Chain A
Amino acid sequence: MSPHDDATAPATDRSGPAASGAPAIRIAVDDLNAYFGQVHAVRHVTVALPDSHVTAIIGPSGCGKSTFLRCLNRMHETIPNARATGKVLLDGHDIYAVSPVAVRRQIGMVFQRPTPFPTMSIRENVAAGLVVGDRRSNRKQQHEIVERALKRAALWDEVKDRLKTSATGLSGGQQQRLCIARALATDPEVLLLDEPTASLDPISTQKVEELIYELRTEVTVVIVTHNMQQAARVSDQTAFFLGGELIEVAPTETMFTSPSDERTESYITGRFG
């Protein structure tokens, strides 16, 4: 992606916290609204996602958290009649000002259910996101990228002897880590996870959580989760959504010990949702 002009740069400063020593802002969201036809699903969300941090998004079903996530890589607009307004700045550049394809190469996404491409082998799956030019350049280089991505996704040891077999032969947890590896292969700056463990068993869930925890040193992670314990375990910062609005965002520890909004408190203490 070519760097965008600097006209949008000041917005980064505005939404970034002024505190000294705070990490750089990777994604700055400014007054984001998302709609499905007439339904206003995400309302006036302004939030900053710091670099190399895990941000968890929690909230009851239908609160707009997945929709918010899908606005961050412009997947929201692929749904008929869906649209979004507002600004999402990645390193100061508005992602709505460039092509969605370029945006999605820099911002990886993993979905609720594993989505390996059934016609491809494990290796082809991991290499699927590499752009055509990269893929042709050098077979050896491509194999190295695949190996590195699989190692980062903690899957290499389990699949290194069967890279040429179909990806559908893997277990659900392995398939989900394969999808994470596939997203990591293109070296994205941000990784969006939409309830990545919702369809997994507890052991696979634990593996994926450990993986998320380790990844945060390298990429900025945003994870939507229904599971508050999960949010507490893996994230540095937590955002609480309710009715399409961002109610509160705070460091995870603060959020779960002394939330400032009473709606947040009643949600995390289990009074609704």
Chain B
Amino acid sequence: MATAQTTWGGAPSGRQRAVAERTQRSIRRRRVRSHIMIGLMYAAAVIAILPLLLIVIHLLRMGASSLNLAFFTQTQRPPGEAGGGMANAIVGTLILIAIASAVGLPVGIGAGLYLAEKRATTVRFLADVLNGLPSIVMGIFAWSLLVKPVKHFSALAGGMALGAMMIPMVTRTTEEMVRLVPISLREAALALGYSRWRTSLSIVLRTALGGIVTGALVAMARIAGETAPLLFTALGNQFWSTSLRAPIAALPLQIYNYAISPYDEWHTQAWAAAVVLVGIVLVISLAARVATRRRYGAGD
């Protein structure tokens, strides 16, 4: 650049003054551009979280009046009768999450560990495809596999469908977390006379556990609100039921059924159910945050 000719000391030449002026102008222009960009990004961030805020406010305004003790302790009343609650749907959703986790976590973590150790690109690709599979397709598939042969809907079928949706999510987070464990730790364990599987389980998996727990909780939060896979599997239930072999109520299904009903008090209850569902997801997400924070903490 021209500034290379600058002589140190002495009065600046006309040419140097021109360069300095141009630099000043360029800096000013850059500063303006920087401010505009930062402003745009702030706007994008606000727009991104605005829907959540609006949803929560709207849900509370529409449903808060129905959120009483009865809502959490009673089951459905016939239409027209005031009161009643969704205790069965709340418990049903928790049971479905439990079944899904029992299916999805061991398989997902095992597959993730396999991917991280073997670098099997085909399996990873298939997991990605499974991750992108529309949930309604998963529901139909679960129906033909788990409902049609036994000729009745069941909590088990619903939980399995949700569990199958969890598998690819858990697989990918497990793989990423295990990859973060340095090879030097694996080698240290092998050099101590650990077998390969013991190295994977007691050193690699244990070191990656914090991140895997976070991933598992995020996957649980994701499937808690799924409706489509439950339509053909868990079906829903007006009555109190915790049997795994019978149809079971679930909050998303209940919201759907109540929302399309013609009764006003059911509509309010649907809003209240939505509040509870968002609450459950929020609690799981918070647990994930806590688990993550402990991972980066000072250790035990």
Tell me the smallest distance from the CB of B132 to a CB of chain A, in Å. 30
The answer to whether residues A75 and B209 also contact, given A117-B185, A166-B300, A168-B299 and a CB cut-off of 8 A, is no
Contacting pair A117 B193 (CB below 8 A)? no
The answer to whether residues A117 and B300 also contact, given A73-B191, A105-B193, A183-B192 and a CB cut-off of 8 A, is no
Stretch from A11-19, A40-48, A50-58, A108-116 at the B interface: A108-116
Contacting pair B300 A179 (CB below 8 A)? no
Tell me the smallest distance from the CB of B119 to a CB of chain A, in Å. 9
Contacts of A102 in B (CB 8 A): 193
Q: Which 5 A-B pairs have the closest CB atoms?
A: A166-B299, A105-B193, A115-B188, A129-B192, A109-B191
Contacting pair B192 A128 (CB below 8 A)? yes
Contacting pair A169 B193 (CB below 8 A)? no
The answer to whether residues A101 and B195 also contact, given A111-B188, A121-B300, A179-B188 and a CB cut-off of 8 A, is yes
Query: Is A22 positioned at the interface, with any CB of B under 8 Å from its CB?
Result: no
Number of A-B pairs, beta carbon distance below 8 Å: 62
Question: A131–B192 Cα gap in the complex (Å)?
Answer: 10
Question: A115–B194 Cα gap in the complex (Å)?
Answer: 15
Question: A3–B152 Cα gap in the complex (Å)?
Answer: 62
Contacts of B189 in A (CB 8 A): 117, 128
Contacting pair A101 B300 (CB below 8 A)? no
Contacts of A131 in B (CB 8 A): 193
Query: Is A78 positioned at the interface, with any CB of B under 8 Å from its CB?
Result: yes
Question: A101–B192 Cα gap in the complex (Å)?
Answer: 8
Query: Is A83 positioned at the interface, with any CB of B under 8 Å from its CB?
Result: no
Contacts of B203 in A (CB 8 A): 117
Contacting pair B190 A104 (CB below 8 A)? yes
The answer to whether residues A104 and B191 also contact, given A111-B184, A113-B184 and a CB cut-off of 8 A, is yes
Chain B residue at minimum C-beta to C-beta distance from A119: B206
Interface string of B281-300 (1 = CB under 8 A from A): 00000000000000000111
Interface string of A220-233 (1 = CB under 8 A from B): 00000000000000
Contacting pair B187 A111 (CB below 8 A)? yes
Query: Is A118 positioned at the interface, with any CB of B under 8 Å from its CB?
Result: yes
- Report which B residues bind A (CB closer than 8 A): 184-185, 187-195, 203, 206-207, 209, 298-300
Which residue of A75, A108, A117 is within 8 Å of B187 (Cβ)?
A75
The answer to whether residues A117 and B188 also contact, given A168-B299, A169-B298, A169-B299 and a CB cut-off of 8 A, is yes
Question: A119–B205 Cα gap in the complex (Å)?
Answer: 10
Question: A96–B190 Cα gap in the complex (Å)?
Answer: 16
Question: A183–B192 Cα gap in the complex (Å)?
Answer: 7
12 sample A-B contacts, Cβ–Cβ < 8 Å, listed by A number: A75-B187, A78-B187, A101-B194, A102-B193, A104-B191, A115-B184, A117-B207, A118-B185, A118-B299, A119-B300, A129-B193, A131-B193
Contacts of A26 in B (CB 8 A): none
Question: A189–B17 Cα gap in the complex (Å)?
Answer: 76
Query: Is A182 positioned at the interface, with any CB of B under 8 Å from its CB?
Result: yes
Query: Is A174 positioned at the interface, with any CB of B under 8 Å from its CB?
Result: no
Tell me the smallest distance from the CB of A244 to a CB of chain B, in Å. 22
Question: A166–B297 Cα gap in the complex (Å)?
Answer: 11
Which residue of B188, B195, B209 is within 8 Å of A119 (Cβ)?
B209
Contacting pair B193 A104 (CB below 8 A)? yes
Interface string of A67-81 (1 = CB under 8 A from B): 000000101001000
Question: A168–B209 Cα gap in the complex (Å)?
Answer: 17
Question: A190–B182 Cα gap in the complex (Å)?
Answer: 26
Instruction: Choose among A102, A104, A182, A186 the residue with the greatest number of B CB atoms under 10 Å from its CB.
Output: A104
